[in-house]
Structure 1
Amino acid sequence: MTYSLPRPARLRPAELLRLGLIGPRTRRLRSALSALGVALGIAAVVAITGISASNQAHLLDRFDRLGSNLVTVSPGKNPSGAKVPLPDTATKMLGNIPPVEQISTTADTKANIYRNDAVPLSQTNSLHVLSAQDDLLKTIRGELSSGRWLDRATERLPVVVLGHGAAERLGVEAPGETVWLEGKGLAGAWYGVIGTLQPNELVPDIDDTALVGTPQAIAALGGERTPSTVYLRIHPERVNDVQGVAAATANPAKPSMVAVSRPSDLLKARAETNTALSGLLLSLAGVALLVGGVGIANTMVVSVMERRGEVGLRRALGARRGQITMQFLIEAVLLGLFGGLAGAAAGVTVVYTYAAIQGWPAVVPMVWVLAGPAVAVGVGAAAGLYPALRAAQMSPTGALRSS
C-alpha cells in the first residue's frame, strides 16, 4: 500500500488578501510608521511640485497683468494722415476669434470736461471724455480708487468715472462731486462723479480720461458709434496668432488701415519665463520623486527583513514559498497605497495652505497627485518583493535562527 503526500492548498484571492492584512492588523504601530514613511515621501513630491507650479502661475499672472496678453486695435491712418474709422462690425468680428477671452471698447465723444461751468471752453487741461462699456475695467485689469464703476444701472445716466490723472487735475477728491461737460455743438450739463480709478500702468491713457456710459455718450455727448480703441484680452499662448489676424478681422476691406499693438517684448519674456520654470518644475519633481522613492524603498525593506522569524515559523508550518512572497507583496502594496493616498492628500493641503499665505493662485498638478499613490504602490511592491523572495528562499530553521 502506497501513500502520497497531500498537495499544498492553493489560496484564493480573498484568502490572499486576508493573509496580506495579517501584518497591518497585528503590527499596527509598525504598519502605521511604514505607511507614514511612504506618506511623507509622496507628500514631499506633491508639495514641491504644487508649490513650484503655484509660483509659476503667480509669475505668469503678473506678466499677464503687465499686458503680455492684452492687444489693442484702433483706427489707422490713410496716406494723407487722416484716421480711418473701424467698421461697425469690428468689435463683434474681433470677439468671434476663438482665443479672445475678453473684449471691450472705448469711443470718442465731442465733449470736454471742466471743474465748473465758469472755465473757458479752450482750457481742456488735456483731458478727454470717452464712452466706455461696463466690462472695460475687467478687460484692462483696472482698479477703483473709490466709488463704483459704470454698470447697466448707470450707463444711461449723467455720471462719470474719472481716471487717476483726471481726478487730480479737476481737484475731485471723492465721489459725489459734480463736474461740467460741454463741447462744440453740445449743451453743457452737470455730471455726477460716481468713481475714480487708480493709476493704470497697463493702459496709461485711461488716467487722463473721464468715462461715460456708451448709451449716455451717444444720446447726449455726440459719442461715436464706432470704437476708437478695442481692447482684447487673449489666451496667453495664442497672442501672436490673434495679432496676425486682428487687422484683417477688424477691417477686411482695409486691413492696412488698422493699428494693432504688439507687446512682443513682454510676450517673449513671458515665454522664456514659462519655459525656464517648467524645466525647473520637472527637475524638482524628479529629485523629489527620487528621494521619496528611496525613502519608501528603505521603509519597506526594513519592514520585511525584520520579520524573518515570522517567515521561518510559517515555512515550518507548511506555507509555500509563493504564499510567503504573495503575503509580503500584498502587504507592501497595501501600505504603499494607503501611505500614497494619505501623502497625496497631505501634499495638496500643504500647497493650498502655502499658496493662501503667499497670496498665490493654488495650482496642484493632478498628474503628480495621481502618480504619487501609483509610484508608492510600485516602489513599495518592488522594495518588498526582493527581501520577501530572499526570506522565502531561506530554510525554516535558517529563518528562525536569524530572527
Structure 2
Amino acid sequence: MVAFAGARGEPSALRPARMWPRDVLKVGAVGLRTRPMRAFLSALGIAIGIAAMVAVVGISSSSRAELDRTLAALGTNLLTVTPGSTMTGEEAQLPYEAESMVGRIAPVHTVSAVGLVDDVKVYRSDRVPESETGGLSAYAVRTGLRQAVGAELASGSWLNEATGSFPATVLGAKAAQRLGIGHAGPGTQVYIGGRWFTVVGILKPAALAPELDSGALVGWPAAQKELSFDGHPTRIYTRADEANVEAVQGVLGATANPESPNEVEVSRPSDALAAQQAAGEAFTGLLLGLGAVALLVGGVGVANTMVISVLERRAEIGLRRSLGATRGQIRTQFLAESLLLSALGGAGGAFIGTLVTFGYAFSQDWPTVVPMWAVLGGVGATLLIGAVAGLYPAIRASRLSPTEALAAQ
C-alpha cells in the first residue's frame, strides 16, 4: 500500500498508494460479499421504504392521470343550475321556463334538465315494504340529458321521444345494483310510484353527474302523466364553449330565474373533482411521510450493520493499517460499503415500487405513470442516508490504531 517517490529516483518519502474508483468499489464490496445475508436484510429495510414511496407517488400520479383523462373525455365545460333557498329559508323553485331561457344564452350549445319527482320511490317489486326505499329516487328527464352529462350506457338503450312518453325507465348504476338488476330488457320491470316501469337501459357511473347514479330516470311526459310530476326542473345541465365558461357561469343564475337570481345556485362539477384530487394529494403526502419513516428505519439498520461490521473486522483494519493504509483510506472503504449497501436497497426498492404501480394501474385500467423524479429522488435519498449512516462507523474504523486493532483479536 506504499510507494516510493523522489527526485532522480532516490526514495525521499513514503506515500500511500492512491485508491482509484475501481479499488474503492472492490474494497467496499468486501463486507457485502463476506456477509451476504446481513447485507441483504439491511438492504431490504432500505428497499421497503423506497418501494413504498415510489409506489405511493406512482399510484397517485396514475390516479390523477385517469381523472384527467376522464375530464378530457367528458369535458370541463359542464355547468349546473339548481334551486337555492328563499329569504325565509325554504327551498326555492326554478321556473318552468328556466331550461328554455338558459338555452338562449349564445355560448351555450347544449342544455338539458331533470326534475325530482317528490314522494315517489323505486322498488324491485310491489311486495317490498314502503320504508325500504334503498335511498333511490325517481327523476323526470329530457331526452338530451345523456349528451349533456356525458353518461354512457352499460346495458340497453336511452330514452327517446317514444319511450319517454310511456312507463319506461333508465336506471343509474347504483340504482341497478341495489335493485339487483344486471341487464335491461322488455321482461325487466321495477315498481315506481305504484306503477310498473320497464327497464330499457342501465347507465354506467356518471362522473360529472353522480346524483343520477341512485335514480330511476323517466321521460318528462311519462313522469307528468304517470307520476303526477309538477314540471318544475330541479337541476339544469348546460354545456358552453370552453372559452366562455366563466362568462356563462356569471349570468346563469339571473337567466334561469330573472325574478329571484339570489335563489339560484350555479356550480361546476369538475371543480368538485378537482377538490377530490386535492384531497387525494393530501392523502398521498401522508403516505409519503410513512414511507419516509420506513426509509429512516432502514437507514438505522444500515448504521447498525456498519457498526457491527467495524467491530468484527478490527483485525482486518489493523492489518491494512500496518501495511500502510491511511485513515482516509479506511474511512473511504467503510463509507463506500455503506453507500453500496444503500444503493442496492434503493435500486431494488425503486424497481419493486415501479412494479407495484404497473400492477395496480393495470388492474384498475389506468394509464401507468411513474414520475422519474420519484425514482431518481428515491435512489438519491438512499445514498444520502447511506452516507449519513456510514459516516460514524467509517470514522470509528479509521481511528483504530494498528496495534490496538491487532491486539483486540
User: TM-score w.r.t. structure 2 length?
Assistant: 0.55
Contact 1:309–1:402 (CA under 8 A) maintained in structure 2:
yes
Partner of 1:16: 21
Contact 1:199–1:207 (CA under 8 A) maintained in structure 2:
no
1:144-223 equivalences under 5 Å are: 144=154, 146-147=155-156, 162-164=169-171, 174-175=184-185, 195-197=201-203, 202-203=211-212, 207-210=216-219
Offset, 1:386: 2.1
Partner of 1:86: 103
- 1:9 to 1:368, Cα distance in 2 relative to 1, 3 A: same
Offset, 1:305: 3.4
- 1:80 to 1:360, Cα distance in 2 relative to 1, 3 A: closer
Partner Cα separation in structure 1 for residue 16 and residue 303 of structure 2 = 32
Contact 1:46–1:368 (CA under 8 A) maintained in structure 2:
no
Match of 2:144 among 85, 110, 131: 131
Offset, 1:107: 7.1
Partner Cα separation in structure 2 for residue 5 and residue 255 of structure 1 = 99
1:2-401 equivalences under 5 Å are: 5-11=12-18, 15-24=20-29, 28=33, 30-31=35-36, 33-47=38-52, 50=55, 72-74=79-81, 82-83=97-98, 84-87=101-104, 89-91=106-108, 105-106=111-112, 128-132=141-145, 136-138=149-151, 144=154, 146-147=155-156, 162-164=169-171, 174-175=184-185, 195-197=201-203, 202-203=211-212, 207-210=216-219, 229-230=237-238, 246-248=248-250, 257=258, 260-262=265-267, 277=283, 280-350=286-356, 369-401=375-407
**Structure 1 gaps, min length 5:** 93-103, 109-124, 178-192, 212-226, 235-241
- 1:231 to 1:204, Cα distance in 2 relative to 1, 3 A: farther
The alignment partner of 2:144 has SS state of strand
Root-mean-square deviation (CA, aligned residues, Å) is 5.7
Partner of 2:133: none
Offset, 1:163: 1.7
Offset, 1:342: 0.7
**Structure 2 gaps, min length 5:** 1-9, 84-91, 115-137, 177-182, 188-198, 221-234
Letter in 2 for 1:291: V
Partner Cα separation in structure 2 for residue 8 and residue 159 of structure 1 = 97
Percent identity, please.
31
Letter in 1 for 2:350: A
Partner Cα separation in structure 2 for residue 319 and residue 71 of structure 1 = 73
The alignment partner of 1:314 has SS state of helix
Letter in 2 for 1:292: G
Contact 2:79–2:249 (CA under 8 A) maintained in structure 1:
no
Partner of 2:87: none
The CA deviation string for residues 338-384 of structure 1, in whole angstroms up to 9 with x for no partner, is 22111222234345557778999988676654333222212222222
Offset, 1:36: 4.2
Contact 2:171–2:216 (CA under 8 A) maintained in structure 1:
yes
- 1:204 to 1:85, Cα distance in 2 relative to 1, 3 A: same
